[in-house]
Structure 1
Amino acid sequence: MGNHCGKGCHPRLGDYSISKGLLVTRGEDDIRRHYKIGKELGSGSFGQVRECTKRDTNEVFAVKIIERKMTAKEKMIPGRPSNEQMMRSEVNILKMLDHPHIVKYVDFFEDRYFFYAVLELLAGGELFYRIVKRTKLTEQDASNFCKQMISALAYLHERQIVHRDIKAENFMYKGQSPDAVVKLIDFGMSSRLPESGYLTDLCGSPHYISPELIERHYGCSVDMWAFGVMLFLMLFGRYPFEGSKPALIAKEVQTKDIDWTTEECLHLTDSCIDFVSRLLDRNPKTRLTAAQ
């Protein structure tokens, strides 16, 4: 989100700056008064993440930038909350959390066109890319990550918060070193459990969706199923349930039985197979909880 748009553009037009072709109001509480916005760290359907530096302390953070206005394609997704609902929900939840394996909330700004959530900078990249780079992880490596991730999930579930988008892309490393801690990010789909004790929205990523989420009657157990899928991906380098489109993946989730006696499983200990299979238990009542 630079302050100019290239050759022939003025960096400022009165009280506005040009950003990606949009006029951004420089209001009283403009983020640029407090932070210098730097290079892009990542982007996706949600918007983009950029590095930002606090002007008075030179501390470096990340800023998640989301447009207020939804695209026509986003509006067509059934049950999809607005960008504003997602961002405000994420910020409200992150404000309540303080855990060594959950990204830390720092600050929030908004203007006429964008929302800005300033967060702890996680410079080590996604767990997903480390899995892709190494094809699969050893059982020992996977167990080290598991301890960190499970502690984050137990902390959330104790507070009746369901993340609803647990996947390898949503765990990031604090730094580049091999033993850097991992932290859970992206709380845009997270929700607190209502008094009824269950949620009914269909959301999440197709490969990680649980049987009860497909049925639209679920609680914290959906995070544990998704965690099981992620662990399977770490150990085998592929997803347990696959298909060329979401409906085919959903069918496998509901019907496919995993064979734990294949040659592919021979390198794993019995306790590891028991652990993963108890996470991928179709019955949410008997599935392992984070506390267990």
Structure 2
Amino acid sequence: GRHAISHPKCGTNMFLFFSNSGAFSEVVMAREKATGKMVAIKCIPKKALKGKETSIENEIAVLRKIKHENIVALEDIYESSNHLYLIMQLVSGGELFDRIVEKGFYTEMDASRLIKQVLDAVNYLHSMGIVHRDLKPENLLYFSPHDDSKIMISDFGLSKMEGTGDVMATACGTPGYVAPEVLAQKPYSKAVDCWSIGVIAYILLCGYPPFYDENDSKLFEQILKADYEFDAPYWDDISDSAKDFISCLMEKDPKKRFTCDQALQHPWIAGDTALCKNIHESVSRQIRKNFAKSKWRQAFNATAVVRHMRRLQLGTSFSSSINSNNPPPNPQSRAPVRVRVSNCTVKSELLDDDQHPVLPPSSF
């Protein structure tokens, strides 16, 4: 719907004209009235933050710290009595898989260029002491609809800053992309991101996941053993260099696994070993076939899976929550929520929750 966010204390008005609601938050596109600049606003009801305060505080702290051309930027924060508003850089090119399917021509070289951008961004994060912990195709977005658009990493809700004194051992991530050491409930490091990039590269070259089973227990057993193959005929036209690159990232032992810096120097990324043969037909067919399965689009707490191998605790990734039928939380059952934002100024009380008049189309 179309709504105006305005307040006498606020220097600019935001005119909202498109929204996508999830169980945890709403993301809207907006135009800044003063400049005409388009942004995305993540609108989070404070009543939905109960129990998730640490996650949103962490996401804000991480986003405030980073600035990279391939990472969606946090531009500002507003807070009202009932909502928290994250003003984000707008990316309008769509999800990675959707663009690949829409292409008429797609090669190993295209996949190599995509992965290089991801490696550059994640290498930057790692140099800043940040581990993303939830890298997956749904969190890779194209900046614009143009054919030469760059790729952008989004969603830092599960990211973690190293050196905070906490040992990273919390099992989190998304089924199929999570590293073996995470499922094994062992302390882990930034190497978990490198594993996830390997999984993404695997999918980009064949269109199906390296690990899959309808039974959750068997799925995680495959991952724990790093039990994957380059199946014929799907990998027959893929170079040995690409397979070697993936194997270096999808190495079970995190100490032997390639770092982002090492991966950036691999011939498949830095050299000319990526083939230029069109693999669009086979890859797009497999993507359409395999990634309609919602299980691959749901976040989870892997500790519960390891302990019980039956229970998945669903998370709140934007892509998996759009179609959620969960009832809204009862505000009367929740205590007031306070969000602490470190190292930045929150523009408190700039937005009036009760004054969002619906605007006619002629207002735009």
TM-score by length of 2: 0.66
Q: Residues of 2 paired with 1:136 and 1:237: CA distance?
A: 14
User: 1:278 aligns to what?
Assistant: 248
% identical equivalent positions: 31
Residue identity matched to 1:263? P
Q: Residues of 1 paired with 2:164 and 2:52: CA distance?
A: 25
1:192 aligns with 2:161: yes
Q: Residues of 2 paired with 1:168 and 1:137: CA distance?
A: 16
Q: 1:211 to 1:256 in 2, by over 3 A?
A: closer
Matches within 5 A, 1:173-188: 173-188=142-157
Q: 1:245 to 1:116 in 2, by over 3 A?
A: farther
After superposing the two structures, state which structure 1 stretch, 127-136 or 263-272, moved more: 127-136
Out of 122, 130, 141, the residue aligned to residue 153 of structure 1 is 122
Deviations 1:139-192 (A, max 9, x none): 111011011110000000111100011000101111101210011111111110
Structure with the greater relative contact order (CA < 8 A, sep ≥ 6): 1 or 2? 2
After superposing the two structures, state which structure 1 stretch, 215-224 or 84-93, moved more: 84-93
User: 1:90 aligns to what?
Assistant: 59
1:103 aligns with 2:72: yes
Q: Residues of 1 paired with 2:215 and 2:87: CA distance?
A: 35
Q: Residues of 2 paired with 1:246 and 1:43: CA distance?
A: 28
Out of 192, 200, 206, the residue aligned to residue 230 of structure 1 is 200
TM-score by length of 1: 0.81
Q: 1:227 to 1:198 in 2, by over 3 A?
A: farther
Aligned residues: 261
User: 1:70 aligns to what?
Assistant: 48
Q: Is the 8 A contact 1:136 1:236 kept in 2?
A: no
User: 2:173 aligns to what?
Assistant: 204
Q: Is the 8 A contact 1:103 1:119 kept in 2?
A: yes
2:197 is paired with a residue whose SS is helix
Q: Residues of 1 paired with 2:38 and 2:96: CA distance?
A: 22
Out of 18, 36, 43, the residue aligned to residue 58 of structure 1 is 36
Q: 1:223 to 1:128 in 2, by over 3 A?
A: same
Q: Which runs of 5+ in 1 are unaligned?
A: 5-16, 18-25, 76-81
1:289 aligns with 2:259: yes
Q: 1:253 to 1:133 in 2, by over 3 A?
A: farther
Offset at 1:132?
4.6
After superposing the two structures, state which structure 1 stretch, 277-286 or 191-200, moved more: 191-200
Q: Is the 8 A contact 2:180 2:226 kept in 1?
A: no
After superposing the two structures, state which structure 1 stretch, 243-252 or 160-169, moved more: 243-252
1:49 aligns with 2:27: yes
Offset at 1:248?
3.3
Q: Residues of 1 paired with 2:261 and 2:8: CA distance?
A: 45
2:29 is paired with a residue whose SS is strand
Q: 1:245 to 1:179 in 2, by over 3 A?
A: farther
More strand by share: 1
Q: 1:182 to 1:2 in 2, by over 3 A?
A: same
